[in-house]
Amino acid sequence: MLKRKHLWWQELTKDEILEDVKNTDIAILPIGATEQHGPHCPCGSDYFNALGLAEKVAGRTGVMLLPPLPYGAHPYHHWYMPGTIPVGYDTHTALLCDIIRGASQAGYKKFIILSAHGQVASTLVAMNKLGLEGHFVLTMHWYDFLRDNQTDLETPMVHADEAETSVALYLYPQYVDMSKAVDDGGTPLIDAKFQIKPGMAAKPGMMYHFEGTFARPEYLELKSGVIGTPSLACKEKGEVIVNKCVDYIVEVVNDINSRYAVGEKPPVDR
């Protein structure tokens, strides 16, 4: 449970952090992106989603929240789109590593990088670099918790769509204008049946959506910037999604706590 007076690292003094690490040495680094989310959702959607999930997890478990990253790494086809500010993979990977290294100096032993944006290409590289240094790091992308129809969604989560817009309506409705929402999308360069979309359960013969150059650059391909069906979105679906994701992350935190005492690092070292 939360014992410190504020949720976030940046709101605490050094001494308050050093006191709190005696209660829990698990820290979550929420990472989002600055990316256009169609005509109806804000460019900070992924950032706000990461904050919303992380705050709810910290409220239930007491884990530390590291200062979040509003910029994210992006696949090649996101670049050059107005409203989107991508960080290169090398920069982003280096940033993630430096943040975890810095936080570990205060005594944190277990880290969860919680991403609300598709940036596995940098989170996985960062996690492996940190693993070689002996750090215990889990990386999560929130849409992975939506697979196998665990929610009431009618469409698999992609971008500024039913899922993301529902979460936006639940967490930050003041930035959403549903009168501007349009259902839209592009045409993949090979048959869509081979591609596992975010939020879609994998079947044999399918490739993960970041395993290929499946799409033309978005600034050429997309009219609205939406990929999916935001017209199906509602606040109630968003609440279900957020609660499912938070439950899952809390379960992971509880598992770590059941296996390792505070101050004990899981044996990642050689």
> Judged by CB under 5 A, which stretch of 46-54, 207-215, 242-250, 261-269 contacts Zn ion?
46-54
Q: Rounded distance, CA 223 to CA 185, Å? A: 8
Residue with the two structure tokens 């009431």: 152
Between 46 and 55, whose beta carbon lies closer to Zn ion?
A: 46
Angle at 78 between CA 199 and CA 183, to 5 degrees: 55
Q: Give me the least distance between CB of 253 and Zn ion, in Å please.
A: 24
| Signed CA dihedral, 261, 263, 268, 270: sign only | negative
**Least spacing, CB of residue 167 vs Zn ion, in Å:** 9
Characterize the bridge pairing of strands 64-65 and 26-31: parallel
Q: Which CB atom, from 56 or from 74, has the smaller least distance to Zn ion? A: 74
Question: Cβ 27 to Zn ion, closest distance in Å?
Answer: 24
CB-nearer residue toward Zn ion: 62 or 198: 198
Region binding Zn ion by CB under 5 A among candidate stretches 40-48, 100-108, 223-231, 239-247:
40-48
At its nearest, how many Å lie between Zn ion and the CB of residue 45?
Answer: 5
Question: What minimum distance in Å lies between the beta carbon of 130 and Zn ion?
Answer: 25
Per CB under 5 A, which region of 44-52, 72-80, 187-195, 214-222 contacts Zn ion? 44-52
> Do the beta carbons of residue 39 and residue 225 sit within 8 Å?
yes
Window 170-229: residues binding Zn ion (CB under 5 A): none
Q: Would you say 137 or 163 has its CB closer to Zn ion?
A: 163
For every residue of 180-203, DSSP letters joined together read: G---B----SS-GGGEE-TTPPP-
Residue nearer to Zn ion on the CB measure, 55 or 164? 164
Rg (CA), the chain: 19
CA distance 233 to 90: 35
Q: Which is nearer to Zn ion, 142 or 248 (CB)?
A: 142
> Interface residues for Zn ion in 159-178 (CB under 5 A)?
164
C-alpha to C-alpha distance for 29 and 141, rounded to whole angstroms: 12
What is the amino acid identity at position 260?
A: Y
- The helix-helix angle for 235-259 and 45-61 (nearest 10°) equals 50
Q: Which residues lie across from 114 on neighbouring strands?
A: 30, 140
CB closest to Zn ion, residue no = 46
Q: Residues in contact with Zn ion, total (CB under 5 A)? A: 3
46 binds Zn ion (CB under 5 A): yes
- Please report how close the Cβ of residue 250 comes to Zn ion at its closest, in angstroms: 22
Closer Cβ to Zn ion, 109 or 209, answer by number: 209
Reading the block at residue 260, the tokens are 């390792």
Residues that bind Zn ion (CB under 5 A): 45-46, 164
